[in-house]
Amino acid sequence: MAITIVKPGLLDTIQDLGRFGFGKWGVNPGGAMDTYAARVANMLVGNESCEAVIEMHFPGPQLLFEHNALISLTGADFTPTLNDEPLPLWRPIVVRKNTVLHFPKLNHGARCYLAVHGGFYLDKWLDSYSTNLKAGAGGCDGRKLEKGDELSFRESSIYFPQLLKEGKDYQVLRWKPAIGRVYNLPNEIFFVKGNEWDLLTPGSRNDLLENNFIIHPFSDRMGYRLKGVELKTERPYEMVSSGVNFGTMQLLPDGQLILLMADHQTAGGYPRIGHVISAHLPKLAQLRPSDCIHFSMVDICMAEELLFAMQQELNILQRACMAQLNQLVC
């Protein structure tokens, strides 16, 4: 049972929730940029949330399903079609074998995720399926997906013929998550103070909170460079390289900001003026070059409260999806 890459997209890679515990050797966690979308994609098809998914950027790939499969698509809207018939996002979908999935148009968002029931047959590297492009390891031989690649997935216990109506290439199943709160106000990003926040002048602190910042075209999975008002420090500074993480906001020597993303380095020598809260990393990951960001500062208590609420919703969703899937298993 396999999916074949008929035509590769701009950057299609295998990702999961990341590899942790190897930072002391210089190996970053990596993983899906939008871990919320990746987790929900897996839950909708009855997988554990840590299963591997395909992370896609626009222009997206063309994928051939060699066998019947239960899939879900989450994250960015690239107007997916199956044999030229439109497919919905954030829904479990049974697709017929010998059909082609295509992504002809970008509507919104930056990264789309595909999960398949049962998960992909892949080898782990350092306890993770995620592709580390710089190391050339993990995922599909440590590289982006290319034409002719076949991604095998595990055999399903679902009896597909009873779900596929005659003459139809797919069937959308009835359950759907409520995602509005996670991606609400997509350009408003909350952060907490970083270790070097006090280095900023009072005027620059106000500028950070009152102005919009634009994502520079030279942005990728490692970091988003921002264009905006120049931020200044109270005094010249020299720093020993310190630990950084997904969401760390660093101040560059030219007064501009860089937001570290999933493929960030494990240590950095620029001032860490803030950290994007974990609950807002999913919507940050769906912003594209030329999109604007407005920062709002919150305290640790609110950051934890928002993360806890999101995790609670995911726990409920996982139980609900499993209950629905159990009714389909032979």
**Tens digit of each residue's pLDDT (9 = 90 or more) over 161-220:** 677 888 789 999 988 888 878 999 999 999 999 999 999 999 999 999 999 999 999 999
Beta bridge partners of 158: 329
pLDDT above 60 for 330: no
One-character DSSP codes across 207-225: HHHHSEEEEPSS--SSEEE
Spell out the alpha helix ranges (H) of 104-184: 180-183
pTM for this prediction = 0.95
Cβ contacts of residue 129 below 8 Å, gap of 6+? 14, 15, 16, 51, 52, 120, 122, 138, 139
**Tens digit of each residue's pLDDT (9 = 90 or more) over 264-274:** 999 988 999 99
Q: What is the pLDDT of residue 157?
A: 66
Cβ contacts of residue 306 below 8 Å, gap of 6+? 190, 277, 279, 280
Q: What is the CA angle 143-147-153, rounded to 5?
A: 75
Domain spans of the chain, in order of start: 2-180, 185-298
**Tens digit of each residue's pLDDT (9 = 90 or more) over 135-178:** 999 999 999 999 999 999 987 766 676 778 887 899 999 888 88
Q: What is the pLDDT of residue 325?
A: 84
Least reliable range by pLDDT among 166-170, 237-241, 243-247, 303-307: 237-241
Average pLDDT of 234-257? 91
What distance in Å separates the CA atoms of residue 57 and residue 53, rounded to the nearest whole number?
13
319 φ/ψ angles, rounded to the nearest 5 degrees: -65, -40
What distance in Å separates the CA atoms of residue 327 and residue 162, rounded to the nearest whole number?
12
pLDDT above 80 for 329: no
Q: What is the pLDDT of residue 324?
A: 86
Q: What is the pLDDT of residue 166?
A: 80
Q: What is the pLDDT of residue 241?
A: 85
Please give the helix or strand (H or E) that residue 321 lies within, else none: helix 300-326
Q: What is the pLDDT of residue 287?
A: 98
Q: Which two tokens stand for residue 138?
A: 């993990």
Q: How confident is the model at residue 13 (pLDDT cuts 50, 70, 90)?
A: very high
Q: For the chain, what is the radius of gyration of the CA atoms?
A: 21
Cβ contacts of residue 202 below 8 Å, gap of 6+? none
Q: How many residues does the chain have?
A: 330
Is 233 in a helix, a strand, or coil? strand
Superfamily of domain 185-298: Cyclophilin-like (2.40.100.10)
pLDDT above 90 for 326: no
Task: Give the chain's mean pLDDT.
Answer: 93
Average pLDDT of 240-251? 93
Q: Which two tokens stand for residue 214?
A: 């634009």
Average pLDDT of 33-47? 96
What distance in Å separates the CA atoms of residue 283 and residue 286, rounded to the nearest whole number?
5
What DSSP character marks residue 46?
Answer: T
Average pLDDT of 226-250? 91
